[in-house]
Structure 1
Amino acid sequence: MNTDKFIRSVNIAMFIIVAALFISSTGWAATYYVSPQGNDATGDGSQISPWKSLSHACSRVKRFGDTIYINSGAYTDNNTCDLSVGVKIEGAGKELVSINTSAGTYINATSGMPVTDGSNQIFGISFYGTGSNTCMYSEGRSNQEIHDCYFKDFNTAVHILGKRPMRNNCSDNESETATYCEDDFRKSIQPSDTDWAEDVKVYNNTIINAKLNFKTIKRAKIHHNQIDNSASFKSGVGHTAFWWNNVEFYSNTITVQTVAWRTIALEVWMVENNTEFRDNRTNGWFSILLNPNGPNTPYSWKIVNNTFESNVVRGMESRAVDAALETCYHVKNVLIEGNYFVNTGSENTYKMAIGIWGHGENKNFIIRNNVIYNMDWTGVYIQSNDTTKPQFFDGDDIYFYNNVVEFESASDHYGVYIHDGAGDIDNVKVRNNIFMTAHRGAIVYPAGHSVSGVEFVNNDFYNGTGYVYDTGSGGFSMVSNNYTFKPDIQQTGSRPEYYYRAKDSNANIIDAGMDVGFSYSGGAPDIGAYEYFHLSPPKNIHLR
């Protein structure tokens, strides 16, 4: 056999196969057109003979990789677009294309289980609804991408999920995956590997009088969306979303009309596997709860560098909510870092910045480098008196390090409020914080329940009544090495970062802290939220 000829033959055959695969995946992909001047009855979807409606185009375009292109213009389309797998919808631009629809669900992208590769993309369109309908619904599909669109007057602008979660009162032999157990969260059953809608991307959208919702999503990125529900009582995201796994939710702005039980900027339960909420802004409240059975290392979730800034009226349309951030319930390993909580006016919207309560195990909360200003009552509220579920609150290893808590007046204001009840609270460490104009730095109330191991150490407590107050439960195990000096911070310019930074290299807060396991610059950690930068290399770098 001629070896060279054989090798050449094999190479040619492989080239033909690869070329065929390339042609089949891309070469046959086509673009079809929709225009206000088109005709659904006589058009063929070409540029010279376009269709008139997106819903009709969706009924005709079925091939994976095909595109429906919507030309500039205003459309009314009250039929549902049943979007096939792999088909993209591209508008000429959200400033150029508008679609009004009264369809109950306008774009329906639904597949069965297991979840399949949807590879749908929608962008460059403005959508207008009736106030109660859904614009885009996707179930059972991964790789869904929605960006650079405008949505107004929908109940839900975008709703994407893998497997639809079940909500039940569960028996001990429950077997259905993605089951959320109302009666006992510990019995909830995780989604299977094929239940997740993976790699969802929703970004650069404007949403007015509508919300986003996501369930059973994994490795999703939801970012740079502007949600404005200031003229309605609609929530921003969720209410309620379930099962976010390793999701990045960042740089979104969510505006609501009120802080109330049924009006929530963000509500998501069953959050796991290092899901991150970062660099978001809201005048509402976040409810991030529950991870009884999912991956939780290094964290179940992280809440980092968000701004909660409000002066809205509390409790409109439904009962008022006290906390800017509710984050708790059957969870281990939570990071709350670098956030800013502030009431900006006379409404005193937030009673507290952070609420940790409910039931079940709540273990290893790291609350560090946050600024909390002008709350109406307390900075952090830890409560153990919920008896509505089988497992009472069990709070353990809650660390409050290097924060700033400042109030407008000291009367009835507290840095950390520990409300003991039927449950158990142990090992709360309050270290390296600045408390300004507070009645107490920390309080345990009432008395006679299970609270132990509370430490109040190396804090600066300025212009207040006293470091701590214990009504008799014996909860404090250590109160030592605290200060009462006026902190040498800038106290000028805008809050939070510049205002609360050290005034200069001789500031009394520099190197005044104790080692709590995180990197620092200088001879020791500083007190307060912002470490002063020294030119020498950082010392004592740890990974928690």
Structure 2
Amino acid sequence: MIVSVLAAVTSPAVAHDARHHHAHLKAAGVYYVAPGGSDSAAGTEQSPWGSFAHAQDVVQPGDTVYFRGGTYAYTHANSTCASQTARVDAVTLNKSGTAGSPIRYWAYPGEKPVFDFSGMTDDCRIKGFDVTGSWIHLKSLEVTGTPQNNTLNHESWGIWNSGSNNTFEQLDVHHIMGPGVFLQDGGGNLVLNTDSHDNYDANSSSGAGTNADGFGAHIPANKPGNVFRGCRAWNDSDDGFDLINARSSVTIESSQAWSSGYVPGTSTRAGDGNGFKAGGYGGGYVDYGVKHTVRQSVAFNNGAAGFYANHHTVANDFFNDTGYNNHPDFNMLGVDSSGGAVGMGTLRNDIAYGGTLTSHMTGTDSAHNTWDLGTPLSDDQFQSVSTTGWDAPRKADGSLPSLPYLRPAKAGGLIDQGTDVGLSYKGIAPDLGAFEVS
């Protein structure tokens, strides 16, 4: 019996099947790209490739490409402008990974690869990165300079995404002549610990500064699961975060927006100037509105509202948010089925301090917020009310720096004053505002 079993195990048919199986098992590849590299090289650490396009041609699901530090400068798109209002890409990512094997395009540890599109001369709309594939992970890349080379268009873009289940992590996107990170389509995308700042569309056809958001998500219907987490938007000439025309729910959490609505670095007003513009469909009523969630987030010193419903048609959730020195901090202007202006939103555990506190609150579901509790506020109730230093370096893992700004002081009457909305908290009840303190 033993002999016959051994014979069966080592039979030619079984051996062939085993070889056939192992032939289909491929170890994940690791490749390298560097400024000055060559696409005819081996793609190893010692002999790196030179271009993103070649790396994408080679990689397969599960592979990782490390980009060495330095500047990757682009002077033209990978296709020609069919017209002055056409769209072209500098980098097109159209090869997808899989659920268990995403394709990773990461910075080499400890180094900063900079993708500089400021030298592009294409006379139409430009996308720095056009991500159409799915299960792609970009990490620790710097993206800058996407230009507008005529005045016929609203904006260009730093990163445009239409794929699904992509991750954009620890990116530094800045000085884009349009939105920094824009989710146009796709579901299940995560924008994590990413900064988008100093974006200004000087040549926009609708007026200088009117379209350069930090982050945007204008997702069509049936594309759920898009999340912005741990992100910062500052000095963007339009809005920090903009969800107008999104027909699938979007979640923004543990994020920050400040100094929106100004020409970057000045006090000159430009675009709308909201920190978090949570929806809306062009000002009128539609029957396909969806609920968005903005939670544990901070907005301060924005030219207009810190948190804005923007004529939304359903009540969004605003939980544990802090508005400081906005105009106003919370503006819940919604629109009902008859087209009338109404308050629209569910608000819990929020802080409004400084500037103008609230507007359009009649009709909202508002409880356990500072304005509901009648809590008198002063600077002494916070560890600090400084509005400088918020752009401090992130922690090693990319998470937000631990700063005292707008955190409740221990004796300030803001701790344990909230109500349970399903978020983790310490003590007998949640604290008010974006920060839970010990």
Task: State the Cα deviation string for residues 413-454 of structure 1 (Å, max 9, x = none).
Answer: 21122332xxx6111233332211122122255874375642
Q: Equivalent residue for 2:158?
A: 265
Q: Equivalent residue for 2:411?
A: 506
Count of residue pairs brought into register by the alignment: 367
| CA distance 1:532–1:15, change in 2 (3 Å) | farther
Q: Secondary structure at the match of 1:378?
A: coil
Out of 324, 336, 341, the position equivalent to 2:214 is 324
Q: Equivalent residue for 1:169?
A: none
User: 1:202-241 maps to which residues of 2 (within 5 A)?
Assistant: 210-219=90-99, 220-225=102-107, 226-229=113-116, 231-233=118-120, 235-238=127-130, 241=131
Which amino acid is the alignment partner of residue 243 of structure 2?
Answer: I
Preserved contact between residue 419 and residue 446 of structure 1 (Cα < 8 Å): yes
Which amino acid is the alignment partner of residue 211 of structure 1?
Answer: V
User: 1:306-385 maps to which residues of 2 (within 5 A)?
Assistant: 306-310=194-198, 312-316=199-203, 320=209, 321-330=211-220, 331-343=223-235, 349-358=236-245, 361-363=247-249, 365-376=250-261, 377-385=273-281
CA distance in 1, matches of 2:259, 2:184: 25
CA distance in 2, matches of 1:318, 1:144: 41
Shift of 1:267: 0.6
Q: Equivalent residue for 1:398?
A: 292
**1:437 corresponds to 2:325:** yes
Preserved contact between residue 429 and residue 455 of structure 1 (Cα < 8 Å): yes
CA distance in 2, matches of 1:90, 1:309: 30
User: 1:42-441 maps to which residues of 2 (within 5 A)?
Assistant: 94=34, 98-99=37-38, 122-124=43-45, 125=47, 135=54, 138=57, 142=61, 145-148=64-67, 153=74, 210-219=90-99, 220-225=102-107, 226-229=113-116, 231-233=118-120, 235-238=127-130, 241-244=131-134, 246-257=135-146, 263-272=156-165, 275-283=166-174, 284=176, 285-291=180-186, 300-310=188-198, 312-316=199-203, 320=209, 321-330=211-220, 331-343=223-235, 349-358=236-245, 361-363=247-249, 365-376=250-261, 377-386=273-282, 392=286, 394-407=288-301, 413-420=304-311, 425-441=313-329
CA distance in 1, matches of 2:140, 2:59: 27
| CA distance 1:282–1:215, change in 2 (3 Å) | same
- Runs (5+) with no aligned partner, structure 2: 79-88, 108-112, 121-125, 262-272, 392-401
Please give the TM-score of this superposition, normalised by the length of structure 2: 0.67
Preserved contact between residue 135 and residue 156 of structure 1 (Cα < 8 Å): no
Which amino acid is the alignment partner of residue 191 of structure 2?
Answer: I
Which amino acid is the alignment partner of residue 226 of structure 2?
Answer: V
Please give the TM-score of this superposition, normalised by the length of structure 1: 0.55
**Structure 1 moving runs of 4+ over 6 Å:** 88-91
Shift of 1:236: 3.3
| CA distance 1:451–1:333, change in 2 (3 Å) | farther
Preserved contact between residue 323 and residue 330 of structure 2 (Cα < 8 Å): no
Out of 512, 524, 527, the position equivalent to 2:432 is 527
Shift of 1:134: 5.4
Q: Equivalent residue for 2:394?
A: none
**1:476 corresponds to 2:364:** yes
Which amino acid is the alignment partner of residue 241 of structure 2?
Answer: I
| CA distance 1:482–1:458, change in 2 (3 Å) | farther
| CA distance 1:337–1:514, change in 2 (3 Å) | farther
CA distance in 2, matches of 1:451, 1:139: 54
CA distance in 2, matches of 1:382, 1:20: 55
Preserved contact between residue 396 and residue 426 of structure 1 (Cα < 8 Å): yes
| CA distance 1:529–1:382, change in 2 (3 Å) | closer
Preserved contact between residue 214 and residue 239 of structure 2 (Cα < 8 Å): yes
CA distance in 1, matches of 2:227, 2:350: 21
Higher relative contact order, structure no. (Cα contacts within 8 Å, ≥ 6 residues apart): 2
Report which of the two structures shows the higher radius of gyration computed on alpha carbons. Answer: 1
Task: State the Cα deviation string for residues 149-178 of structure 1 (Å, max 9, x = none).
Answer: 686547579xxxxxxxxxxxxxxxxxxxxx
**1:495 corresponds to 2:390:** yes
| CA distance 1:374–1:265, change in 2 (3 Å) | same
Task: State the Cα deviation string for residues 55-99 of structure 1 (Å, max 9, x = none).
Answer: xxxxxxxxx99xxxxxxxxxxxxxxxxxxxx9x9988x958x743
Q: Equivalent residue for 1:110?
A: none
Shift of 1:324: 0.9
Preserved contact between residue 362 and residue 394 of structure 1 (Cα < 8 Å): no
CA distance in 2, matches of 1:136, 1:266: 18
CA distance in 1, matches of 2:30, 2:258: 46
Which amino acid is the alignment partner of residue 512 of structure 1?
Answer: Q
Q: Secondary structure at the match of 1:322?
A: coil
| CA distance 1:155–1:262, change in 2 (3 Å) | farther
Q: Equivalent residue for 1:200?
A: none
Which amino acid is the alignment partner of residue 414 of structure 2?
Answer: I
Preserved contact between residue 291 and residue 314 of structure 2 (Cα < 8 Å): yes
CA distance in 1, matches of 2:34, 2:185: 37
| CA distance 1:449–1:269, change in 2 (3 Å) | farther
Give me the CA root mean square deviation: 4.5
Percent identity (aligned): 11
Q: Secondary structure at the match of 1:138?
A: helix
- Runs (5+) with no aligned partner, structure 1: 27-63, 66-85, 100-105, 108-120, 158-208, 344-348, 534-544
Shift of 1:517: 0.9
Higher share in strand? 1
CA distance in 1, matches of 2:18, 2:253: 57
CA distance in 2, matches of 1:438, 1:224: 37
Shift of 1:286: 0.8
Preserved contact between residue 325 and residue 355 of structure 2 (Cα < 8 Å): yes
Preserved contact between residue 502 and residue 509 of structure 1 (Cα < 8 Å): no
| CA distance 1:278–1:25, change in 2 (3 Å) | closer
Preserved contact between residue 183 and residue 216 of structure 2 (Cα < 8 Å): yes
Q: Equivalent residue for 2:395?
A: none
